[in-house]
Chains A and B, each alone.
Chain A
């Protein structure tokens, strides 16, 4: 029977880089081949995306955005993963990945038009190799796997990153995507941002086991790593991407982190989780940790850090003023115009009711 089980791409270039506990080994850390500028760049990007996150929350509280989902605390994953990929490698994000989009060069003020309800997709996915944000949980995972299968069929050497939360792993789509990835040896990195919560559902109620350890069941390797270490995330994604590019197939990375903010601006986490948990994770803040590491290496002095903070402030102000200027509200056409070629009657009725409701407003 044993020969029936064919495990694809069993070689695992990621695991040797990490300790049992998922920490990047010291020799692996020094062997990343990143120069001082590249190391500082990771820091700068984390600071910028955190500031953008904060500004977006402010704008939501000021009525400028309908909704905002903070990624506070998950910056190391956003920055480390994108930095480890080629700019042409596609990323399939969920709703919480504005930081990743920024790392790909998408203008934060433009991105916000989505959360302001002005736009269905504020960037050209092809230009940034960055797919639209997927709100229905886990739907982006089969998209990522399918896209990677397409890339393989075309014979190009692009790899794809599909990223999702701990909650997403409970969905059927996730299982189907994992299975396809394994069977078709798709060049895809499946990056779970395990932030311990799916709205108010804690990790312990999400799964009785480990997410990373499910990968071998689908025929490829997986690893659980410290997701609050930007270099660890970088190292893992880069090694998994190289492996996929070689044709060795998918890899599952479970990056352990914590959602420091609310699920979205509509949520109040004090109703379901204790302050002590938040405090414990604050001590592992990805930016503070990396900052002190850089300082220890003599790579970041106070002036450089202050300059980056200043840049973040300017960016935030730009976001605010430019978003406010982007007021042209979409007409009914934008909602109804692109759904059906030949709209069915109930749909047309709904459209008429909507247009009538705008009369005199």
Chain B
């Protein structure tokens, strides 16, 4: 029994970390060669890591949700048995012995010697980009807080070496850098990975690239609620969401520009044919936006079915990435779980419009000059001002209110 620790490999050509999604083994359990150990999510894919050895799981070194650096310990396994004797690969197959390298024909042979450029004497490196150092040395300097421009390189042509950086890094700098990564007085640092990171990136992209404005309206939900009641009588109860989606789709049909995106590179507006409605869903992992595709071809029932399936899938974490991409317009039901009336939603970076629906509840409305209690809700839309001006947004919002107020079962 030899204890061996398996370290997280670079699973995708140049990755530096992965997030542990779930373990498929537990400490004390047995594992066979190639049996799944865990699922990890890299920047490129979610992959299953098969066990390199058979044996007993001694220790799992990371928790689900944790971000693991490439090269860090993942799992320790007490391996069974000694490795089988191995017939070595013929020397020709590896180029460690270049004189027998195959495929280059006889006579090519290894070069007698590489002509080296005469080395220039170490000189003081210039400022800024003139500093000569390999990328890993620059990284090291950054980590240790060493200013490369202040160093004299001892390598060829004045290149700064690892030793130069290590020599210059004061122990004080090293400790303070380490401290910053953990806890300081009254502060806790949470590493941002996975969905949180993706949301952050999308939101920054939206607010830094899209000049967006928001308009608000209140609609009378009397007919919508009546239609919903009739549905219920006929054995089918549903949330207001499918009605919202249907009304949105109908309004978008009349105003196709709402279903578009701005193509910065070509100075073009890309008007999309299918209406793919992204539905903002709050999940234990954070905000997810599954996409209801081809909504313009669906009736209320089909919309209700699809939306329910997507929302459930988003919450259970079973949706494929393709089911969460390709949206052309987004809807968020801000009133679904609280007293929220309305909000100023942020546009998804590849869309033109997002609509937020507030809570439906009785509120005073003036009908025929009299104040009466009617069920109603706020809606707001945020739109890309590069594509849509206030006048058009208002027309669209008016159409949307019209659709909502004439909802039928």
Contact = CB atoms under 8 A, between A and B. Distances in A.
Interface of A: 55, 58, 60-64, 66-67, 107, 109-110, 113, 118-125, 132, 262, 265-268, 270-275, 317-318, 320-326, 328-331, 333-334, 336-338, 341-343, 345, 348-349, 351-353, 356-357, 359-360
A67 B86 CA distance: 24
Contact of A121 (B44, B90, B103, B325): B103
A326 B91 CA distance: 9
A61 B50 contact: yes
Nearest to A268: B45
A270 B322 CA distance: 6
Interface stretch (B114-122, B187-195, B386-394): B114-122
A342 B12 contact: no
Contacts of B130: none
Q: Which 5 A/B pairs are nearest by Cβ-Cβ distance? A: A63-B9, A268-B45, A328-B96, A266-B12, A271-B321
A251 B72 CA distance: 53
B320 A274 contact: yes
A320 B46 CA distance: 24
A251 to B, nearest CB: 29
Nearest to B135: A357
A333 B113 CA distance: 10
B134 A357 contact: yes
Interface string B44-87: 11111111100000000000000000000000000000011011
Contacts of A61: 9, 11, 47-50
Nearest to A262: B45
B13 A124 contact: no
B211 interface: no
B224 to A, nearest CB: 33
Q: How many interface residues does chain B have, given as a range?
A: 35 or more
Contacts of A331: 96
Label chain B's interface by main secondary structure.
loop
B45 A349 contact: no
Given A61-B9, A271-B321, A338-B104, A322 B86 contact: yes
B110 interface: yes
Nearest to B91: A328
A58 B34 contact: yes
Interface string B1-43: 0000011111111000000000000000000011000000000
Contact of A321 (B10, B45, B50, B86): B86
A121 B102 CA distance: 7
B95 A118 contact: yes
B116 A348 contact: yes
Nearest to B9: A63
B49 A267 contact: no
Contacts of B13: 66-67, 266
A271 B162 contact: no
A272 B322 contact: yes
A123 B11 contact: no
Contact of A353 (B50, B88, B95, B134): B134
B45 A266 contact: yes
Contacts of A266: 11-13, 44-45
A109 B103 contact: no
B102 A123 contact: yes
B257 to A, nearest CB: 26
Nearest to B321: A271
Nearest to B89: A326
A118 B95 CA distance: 6
Nearest to B52: A62
Given A325-B88, A360-B163, 5 more contacts: A60-B11, A107-B93, A125-B103, A265-B47, A348-B114
Contacts of B320: 270-271, 274-275
B11 A330 contact: no
Contacts of A321: 83-84, 86
Contacts of A267: 44-45
Given A322-B88, A329-B96, A357-B134, A268 B103 contact: no
B133 to A, nearest CB: 9
A63 to B, nearest CB: 3
A340 to B, nearest CB: 9
A274 B114 CA distance: 52
Nearest to A111: B93
Contacts of A64: 9, 52
A348 B47 contact: no
Contacts of A121: 102-103
Contacts of B156: 352, 356
A351 B46 contact: no
Contacts of A66: 10, 13
A265 B12 contact: yes
A273 B103 CA distance: 39
Contact of B89 (A62, A325, A343, A356): A325
Given A268-B44, A333-B98, A119 B117 contact: no
Contacts of B89: 107, 109-110, 113, 322-323, 325-326
Q: Kindly name the residue among A61, A64, A110, A357 whose own CB sees the greatest number of chain B CB atoms within 10 A.
A: A61
